[in-house]
Amino acid sequence: MREKIWLSSPHMGTKEREFVTDVFDSNWIAPLGPYVDGFEKDLATFTGAGHAAVLSSGTAALHLALILLGVEKGDEVICQSMTFSASANPIVYQGATPVFIDSEEDTWNMDPQLLETAIQDRLSKGRKPKAIIPVHLYGMPAKMDEILAVAAKYDIPVIEDAAEALGSLYKGRPCGALGRMGILSFNGNKIITTSGGGALLGNEEDLIKMARFLACQARDPAPHYQHSHIGFNYRMSNICAGIGRGQMLVLPARIAQRRANYAHYVEQLAALPGVGFLPEPEGSSSNRWLSTILVDPVLSRGITRETIRLALEKENIEARPLWKPMHLQPVFAGAPAYVNGTAARLFDTGLCLPSGSNLSIQDLQDVTDLINNLWD
């Protein structure tokens, strides 16, 4: 059996180990320290967000963003349906209800028209949504100008879920810094990783400072332990931040490699009947965190995304269906949803192909040879 080809595995550069050793030598083995401060500066600079708080996960970042916007029990928060469950779970942590919005065809992200329809319908029921969470799926920027225009019209803040989109550009501007706040993830499978971690981004310093305060158990300034807020243990460790600072040095190379993976797949597979890709809309640049294909079983004469996934699995190659939309998840069966069928169709026909920045040319060629053989 060949060595497993993963969907997206960690890819360390040359400095991460040195920085972690430095952390050990200095004994800053804590959820604070110079690498935490430095990683926050790196991220604020790279994204242009102004301010960043590094945290234990992207999920924690989203949870704090909702708290900072005052989301409480009984509230409603609008969320893209086509996403990973972590986009929606923090809404429920707050006792609020997610309202799901289907996708449009050009980016597979939140449909701005359906967003407006949903807001108008919620308003007609006397329920003004407290926040809007669009997602840049697989690194592809959502239609942010349109989404932000609708959000501004109804005066609802936007939290950008940029967990998959570090390094993606929308009209020349980095994803994560386009809404009121944005979140990033450094989970093990993301474009850069700290083993686990996340960040909250924002232009308003008071909000980001408040996030750091809440993430460190909400300790009031006093010699004893005093609390006037409920806190969380959500801060990133200085060890993880050391890895993060090393990963920032190779981020441009990681983006280039993932984009090259996508180019390989297009070159090798685009001619196959029934196989489709998601091109970048004018003005957008995706980090191509994951390369995805759509397979139309009519045009492919019966080959489905499952045919491909199982053929790869037999060769010890990991591939995965696109995210199953949240409005089709058993756990969110009762949540309001505004749907047009796009996300359901993407889930039925879409597949994520191996996309790590550490794949060799031979790995990529093996994957596309196997897929090409299915059409022979």
Sheet (strand 159-161) strand order: 51-55, 198-202, 181-185, 159-161
User: Rg of the chain over CA atoms, in angstroms?
Assistant: 21
Among 187, 291, 300, 357, which residue interacts with ligand PLP (rule: CB under 6 A)?
A: 187
For the beta carbon of residue 252, count every other beta carbon within 10 angstroms: 11
Which candidate, 53, 287, 45, 284, places its Cα nearest to that of 173? 284
Is 190 tagged catalytic? yes
Q: Which of residues 57-76 bind ligand PLP (CB under 6 A)?
A: 57-59
Residues 6+ apart with CB under 8 A from 89: 59
Chain residue whose CB lies nearest ligand PLP: 58
Beta bridge partners of 98: 77
Q: Does residue 87 interact with ligand PLP by CB under 6 A?
A: yes
Q: Does residue 141 interact with ligand PLP by CB under 6 A?
A: no
Among 103, 185, 286, 287, which residue interacts with ligand PLP (rule: CB under 6 A)?
A: 185
Q: Which of 190, 209, 314, 324 is catalytic?
A: 190
Which candidate, 131, 114, 11, places its Cα nearest to that of 65? 131
Smallest gap, in angstroms, from Cβ of residue 214 to ligand PLP?
17
Q: Which of residues 243-272 bind ligand PLP (CB under 6 A)?
A: none
Residue with Cβ nearer ligand PLP (60 or 364): 60
Cα angle: 259, vertex 262, 268; to 5 degrees: 140
3-state secondary structure of 96: coil
Smallest gap, in angstroms, from Cβ of residue 87 to ligand PLP?
5
Smallest gap, in angstroms, from Cβ of residue 222 to ligand PLP?
32
Which candidate, 287, 292, 284, places its Cα nearest to that of 253? 287
Number of H helices, E strands in the chain: 11, 15
Instruction: Considering only the stretches 19-27, 78-86, 167-175, 299-307, report the one whose residues sit in contact with ligand PLP under the rule CB under 6 A.
Output: 78-86
Residue with Cβ nearer ligand PLP (59 or 97): 59
**Contact residues for ligand PLP, defined by CB under 6 A:** 57-59, 83-84, 86-87, 135, 161, 163-164, 185, 187, 198
Which positions are annotated as active-site residues? 190
